[in-house]
Structure 1
């Protein structure tokens, strides 16, 4: 049966490209009010396509741009899957740097490889259409999908998703599924798929230390008056030990080791740590001793000082002992680290190091926990098998140093883990002029989702 579905995908590829090109021609720029009607038109087009595929699809209004929600219940067994993508795109500026009009999609060939060039080709219209075309092939061959599928397409991802969380909260029962499928990620290379299995969380803090009631003349008070810059610098220096570990008490609570089989996959990726650092003019890893660079950026928590402010920083020179000094500090979290406990322990750490005559105040700049797909879960196992079959090599199980907000929203609001599988490449120029999506990514992505649906549906 799967062979017939894959053959249907291959035979239908020209028509699949025509449908993608139709969507790419719609100027759905969400951040610019001048394109509001175009964003709505893209939502309407997707809802019509889904209805034509047998989904119960509708365009749902929000206080901003609409959501598209669709359900298919033709499967009589298997898990319930919620597929997420976004149909809005970034502005095209600077227009003069586009080789051809950004909403006039075309195929070009570079070094023998064909690529789709248009705004939204990779981020995220091409990506979401891979899933729709996989569903289309299953329906064409079998008349149904191998699993129960719901779809949520957002129209505000590129403008901060202001309506997403309220929409999720208002539709919890309708949208909650066994797992979310998120396609806004990439492959490891043109020949190797990837599954993003972990995303680091974040805690942001601003700390201000004050001493005297005003800035002081360093000739008159130097040596006698407490200098907040000295105090702050000393505290910041104590945030790490000689091996690069964070010294905030209980900081590593909830941090688990990456399983050996995942580390074994990382060893096969051919990641060049020296080249990675060389691209930014560096030579030596500076994180935790005994950890590889991939571990440092994917699976280990961090503490970074992002900025220090204090005293006179203008032109020339001023001999001043400042009355206060501030620093912005961020923590990247992994595993089950609790953002609020990290914040609380950091504040206690700073407060405990204050000398006499100093006061401290803190300002919070948000916090969110890390996201991690269960290493031994059936959804990850099914996706690994499917991608291995399609690309002929075990997919890279990768981490994300940053975050994908919707994944955290699904976990907090709907209690769902997310399976993050995408087919973009690092050189797709997303958010830049001449954005592109490899034809092999589009075609292979459709085939991959067809295989994943078959695996997850049993």
Structure 2
């Protein structure tokens, strides 16, 4: 189907205005809005002010909203008769360490030619300023062509995403009536690994725990005490080993409550993506999948729960050798959650399970690192099909519904607090080096991302 004339003109406007759009992005990227470091708090606010000013000049009713931490930026376009859309992004960025691994200063962004095409190099280019600005630029071109912004938009831009979003949930609760929309969109995800456009429709949740197990009041000589005294490292190893059976299935009682089998229609879609576990693992020097037997590769990382030991320490780990039984051992573990798994319920079950391994003269303590449930979007909402078709038309490849092994808690917050599903549509690539030195965002991702949003806005209108 040919695009409507106004959409065709919006796309032409985006193409013609790409150099100016890149200049605006580079200006935005020069602001070191690192939210985790208090020394950069003035810069985080400066980024919020830059963004708010740009939105006001564009015609949005935009304002900075203070929180106990870094500010939110909220903007509205004029009301409309169609469905209301909330668009979310974040303007804060990760720290830049180690600085010596950057080829150029991280907050002196630039355009670079690479063998794979032109890229925007600098901290925040992909995560998330470049992605955020794809939507803003689509709105800018829309207004230039149509004389007004797309109606019924709410924009929410956060300044604490990279530091755990401590102010976000209270802000959503306090402003639920203002922020509520028919559907939300988040541009903080990637295309599928083969480059095709994608809508992420499910995200695994997370529960993390830090464990300290204390035995003797000091490290002990293994010759004098070995075989008699409790070894906290061995105790933790025994407990963790029992959490998976020979087939890789997690044995924690009640763990699979709320875990549904993958629907056949979605399984067929995922199978069509041609994912090769050996090729995927080959990129990190491995080849053999480790997981529950009988599961497909994408199923393992997108729709199945996990238990992982993230780190262990205790005893002597320095140079040479020291034959001791540690007096104390520490471990960090995490569970990736799917379906309706309840982080609080799993925490209670895990701690009860661990208690069965602890000798009476030893002491175990925990430090919770929080938890969030998985998120599953209702793709029967016609907005998903409309957005998928719009992406297909822009990229010339069939867009895919995909999952994500990681967690984006705000998608769940939108479901729980604002009572709406989210289309997670991003244009990043796996090699964008987000959170790492030399972060980049392809100019193609930026340009076609803005064009994609223009198509999606037209489809939803």
TM-score grouping bracket, smaller chain normalisation:
0.7 to 0.9
Q: Kindly indicate whether the alpha-carbon contact (under 8 Å) linking 1:81 and 1:147 is maintained by their aligned counterparts in 2.
A: no
Other-structure match for 1:47:
52
Q: Using the TM superposition, give the Cα deviation of residue 154 of structure 1 relative to its aligned residue in structure 2, in angstroms.
A: 1.8
Other-structure match for 1:7:
12
Decide which moves more: 386-395 or 183-192: 183-192
Other-structure match for 1:351:
355
Other-structure match for 2:139:
135
Other-structure match for 2:67:
62
* Distance 1:137-1:190 versus aligned 2 partners, 3 A rule: farther
May I ask how many residue pairs the two structures share in their alignment? 456
Structure 1 residue matching 2:285: 3-state secondary structure: coil
- Structure 1 gaps of 5+ residues are none
Structure 2 residue matching 1:174: 3-state secondary structure: helix
Q: Kindly indicate whether the alpha-carbon contact (under 8 Å) linking 2:33 and 2:47 is maintained by their aligned counterparts in 1.
A: yes
Which of 86, 89, 105 is matched with 1:82 structurally?
Answer: 86
* Distance 1:100-1:351 versus aligned 2 partners, 3 A rule: closer
Q: Using the TM superposition, give the Cα deviation of residue 253 of structure 1 relative to its aligned residue in structure 2, in angstroms.
A: 1.0
TM-score normalized by the length of structure 1: 0.87
Which of 261, 279, 289 is matched with 1:257 structurally?
Answer: 261
Other-structure match for 1:243:
247
Q: Using the TM superposition, give the Cα deviation of residue 367 of structure 1 relative to its aligned residue in structure 2, in angstroms.
A: 1.6
TM-score normalized by the length of structure 2: 0.87
Structure 1 residue matching 2:20: 3-state secondary structure: helix
- Does structure 1 residue 406 correspond to structure 2 residue 410? yes
Q: Kindly indicate whether the alpha-carbon contact (under 8 Å) linking 2:281 and 2:288 is maintained by their aligned counterparts in 1.
A: yes
Which of 339, 344, 356 is matched with 1:335 structurally?
Answer: 339
Decide which moves more: 131-140 or 409-418: 409-418
Structure 2 residue matching 1:346: 3-state secondary structure: helix
Other-structure match for 2:170:
166
* Distance 1:229-1:375 versus aligned 2 partners, 3 A rule: same
* Distance 1:188-1:341 versus aligned 2 partners, 3 A rule: same
Which of 269, 282, 292 is matched with 2:273 structurally?
Answer: 269
* Distance 1:136-1:222 versus aligned 2 partners, 3 A rule: closer
Q: Kindly indicate whether the alpha-carbon contact (under 8 Å) linking 1:147 and 1:453 is maintained by their aligned counterparts in 2.
A: no
- Does structure 1 residue 188 correspond to structure 2 residue 199? no
* Distance 1:112-1:244 versus aligned 2 partners, 3 A rule: closer
Q: Using the TM superposition, give the Cα deviation of residue 453 of structure 1 relative to its aligned residue in structure 2, in angstroms.
A: 1.6
Which of 348, 366, 369 is matched with 1:365 structurally?
Answer: 369
Q: What is the distance in 1 between the residues matched to 2:313 and 2:319?
A: 15
Q: Using the TM superposition, give the Cα deviation of residue 318 of structure 1 relative to its aligned residue in structure 2, in angstroms.
A: 5.7
Q: What is the distance in 1 between the residues matched to 2:105 and 2:327?
A: 55
- Does structure 1 residue 389 correspond to structure 2 residue 396? no
Q: What is the distance in 1 between the residues matched to 2:448 and 2:153?
A: 21
Q: What is the distance in 1 between the residues matched to 2:43 and 2:316?
A: 50
Structure 2 residue matching 1:165: 3-state secondary structure: helix
* Distance 1:318-1:433 versus aligned 2 partners, 3 A rule: closer
Q: Kindly indicate whether the alpha-carbon contact (under 8 Å) linking 2:197 and 2:427 is maintained by their aligned counterparts in 1.
A: yes
* Distance 1:380-1:308 versus aligned 2 partners, 3 A rule: same
- Structure 2 gaps of 5+ residues are none
Q: What is the distance in 1 between the residues matched to 2:41 and 2:235?
A: 52
Q: What is the distance in 2 between the residues matched to 1:223 and 1:106?
A: 62
Q: Kindly indicate whether the alpha-carbon contact (under 8 Å) linking 2:143 and 2:150 is maintained by their aligned counterparts in 1.
A: no
Structure 2 residue matching 1:265: 3-state secondary structure: helix
Structure 1 residue matching 2:8: 3-state secondary structure: helix
**Root mean square deviation, CA, Å:** 3.1
Decide which moves more: 448-457 or 143-152: 143-152
Decide which moves more: 80-89 or 158-167: 158-167
Decide which moves more: 136-145 or 274-283: 136-145
Q: Using the TM superposition, give the Cα deviation of residue 293 of structure 1 relative to its aligned residue in structure 2, in angstroms.
A: 2.1
Q: What is the distance in 2 between the residues matched to 1:399 and 1:116?
A: 27
Q: Kindly indicate whether the alpha-carbon contact (under 8 Å) linking 1:190 and 1:441 is maintained by their aligned counterparts in 2.
A: no
Q: Using the TM superposition, give the Cα deviation of residue 357 of structure 1 relative to its aligned residue in structure 2, in angstroms.
A: 6.5
